[in-house]
Structure 1
């Protein structure tokens, strides 16, 4: 979000992609907003699948039944409006919520 808005410096690895996004949004009313990982859990999960299969054949899910079981669980939780919480365990044994 900050790179597309020109607030942050773009690393060379993503310069072309960010520029394409900037060109696509020029002349349009576009709002780019940040969403925490917990609010976008299914997208985060699916992106990790794509990265794990990078360089191999493409993956295509045509319907709900084709999805991995964890993706189905996340989607059903989202439909049921069950919140996703990220809880970290500290080294001293205590817990903290991000």
Structure 2
């Protein structure tokens, strides 16, 4: 299952925690009692593993996420950005859309996400390309 849901967040960590909470609550409601959750934010992964944070803005949502996590056997792990390109693409899609979308099969994924998914499935690296900004004043 994958999702792309727009939300209002003040930081990338808040967005990551809200996505984790959303995913955990969805899995719990769907009746899953054992599953893995991969996050590409080491900071948020540590907050959820330690079950607390010093960040007062995130304290309540971390507590809600930890409580939801305890309803099932959830394994939370960190994965590097290169291994999380599909989630990164869906997050960018949500930021430019007003509607939330759920994907329950490979066929439902957007074309760009399918390619990234296949690279991950084949365990091939996904190389990020950065373009230098054009400087007309050289």
Q: Give the TM-score, by structure 1 length.
A: 0.62
| Distance in structure 2 (CA, Å) of the matches to 1:69 and 1:27 | 35
Greater relative CO (CA pairs within 8 A, separation 6+)? 2
Partner in structure 2 of residue 67 of structure 1: 109
Larger Rg: 1
- 41-50 vs 26-35, greater mean Cα deviation: 26-35
Superposed CA offset, 1:14-45 (max 9, x none): 43321111112348665432211111111111
Which residue in the other structure is 2:76 paired with? 32
Gapped regions of structure 1 (runs ≥ 5): 92-98
User: Hey, what does 1:81 align to over in structure 2?
Assistant: 123
Higher helix share: 2
User: Which ranges in structure 2 are unaligned for 5 or more consecutive residues?
Assistant: 1-44, 134-138
Query: Given the alignment of the two structures, is residue 9 of structure 1 paired with residue 51 of structure 2, yes or no?
Result: no
Aligned residue pair count = 88
Structure-2-length-normalised TM-score: 0.48
